[in-house]
């Protein structure tokens, strides 16, 4: 692990198109962040928040009203991606009994947050078995844990003295099948999808498009032919 620590200057731009000419009636926000706690442990925090704009429910009210605000915190073992701790907190909610469901989410402890996670979440907490908003948040958190696999490996790579690509590119060999957790996750990773075929053929993976763009902006080479 490098002695330097990445900064947390996240991009604060709105990810939605400009809506200045529209009449707002609801805002839902999901946010998930992951942290490296140690070489074998990841902390994943997620939040979901529903807001009503100022003046909608109470005339002349200058502030928005927060309808729902739920927070999930999970510690995940690496590289197994088994959930070792799960805590759910309700910050804002409509019914006095809403928070009584939070302890039920501890049943995620001991389960994998990788393969089969979405199905298991729906089975345990879907419909009347859980909180709709918390369950939707969990479904958003699962893929983040899987993407952290690449981030954890990158955090162990040497930083060097000059800017360079700091990403482990899996070769799809019999000695490294970590990529298999992606199979079935999207059209690229369908069983007969292009990414899966390249990996199974041992061809390795291309530098991701978003990384190619950033390297170009910095005037750097991808390091792959």
pLDDT band at 173 (very low <50, low <70, confident <90, very high): very low
Q: Is the pLDDT assigned to residue 31 strictly greater than 60?
A: yes
Going across the sheet that includes 65-77, the strands are: 27-38, 41-52, 65-77, 83-92
The pLDDT score that the predictor gives to residue 11 is 84
The pLDDT score that the predictor gives to residue 1 is 44
- E strand map for the chain: 27-38, 41-52, 65-77, 83-92
* pTM of this prediction exceeds 0.85: no
Query: Any bridge partners for residue 68, and if so which?
Result: 50
Q: Which residue has the tokens 């928070």?
A: 99
Q: How confident is the prediction for the chain on average, in pLDDT?
A: 87
Q: Is the pLDDT assigned to residue 165 strictly greater than 80?
A: no
Q: Which residue has the tokens 């990529």?
A: 179
Region label for 189, one of left (φ > 0), alpha (ψ between -120 and 50) or beta (otherwise): alpha
* Helix extents (H) in the chain: 117-125, 132-156, 194-200, 209-218
Q: Is the pLDDT assigned to residue 176 strictly greater than 90?
A: no
8 Å CB contact between 71 and 86? no
Q: Is the pLDDT assigned to residue 154 strictly greater than 50?
A: yes
pLDDT: which is higher, 204 or 37: 37
3-state secondary structure 36-50: EEECCEEEEEEEEEE
Domain range annotation of the chain: 27-148, 167-218
Which tokens in the block code for residue 192? 């007969």
Q: Which of 198, 203, 222 is nearest to 211 (CA)?
A: 222
pLDDT band at 62 (very low <50, low <70, confident <90, very high): very high
> How many CB atoms are closer than 10 A to CB 13?
6
pLDDT: which is higher, 57 or 196: 57
pLDDT band at 61 (very low <50, low <70, confident <90, very high): very high
pLDDT: which is higher, 200 or 50: 50
């Amino acid at each position: 692990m490098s002695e330097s620590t990445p900064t947390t200057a996240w991009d604060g731009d709105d990810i939605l198109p400009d809506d200045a000419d529209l009449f707002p009636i609801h805002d839902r926000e999901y946010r998930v962040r992951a942290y490296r706690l140690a070489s074998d442990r990841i902390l994943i925090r997620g939040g979901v928040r529903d807001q009503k704009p100022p003046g909608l429910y109470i005339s002349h009210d200058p502030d928005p009203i927060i309808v729902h605000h739920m927070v999930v915190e999970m510690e995940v073992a690496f590289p197994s991606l088994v959930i070792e701790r799960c805590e759910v907190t309700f910050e804002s909610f409509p019914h006095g009994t809403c928070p009584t469901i939070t302890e039920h989410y501890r049943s995620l402890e001991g389960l994998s947050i990788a393969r089969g996670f979405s199905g298991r979440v729906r089975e345990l907490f879907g419909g009347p078995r859980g909180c709709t908003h918390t369950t939707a948040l969990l479904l958003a958190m699962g893929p983040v844990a899987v993407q952290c696999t690449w981030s954890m490996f990158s955090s162990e790579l040497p930083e060097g003295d000059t800017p360079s690509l700091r990403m482990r590119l899996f070769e799809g060999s019999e000695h490294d099948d970590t990529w298999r957790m992606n199979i079935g996750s999207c059209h690229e990773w369908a069983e007969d999808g292009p990414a899966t075929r390249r990996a199974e053929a041992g061809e390795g993976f291309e530098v991701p498009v978003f990384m190619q763009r950033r390297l170009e902006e910095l005037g750097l080479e991808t390091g792959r032919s």
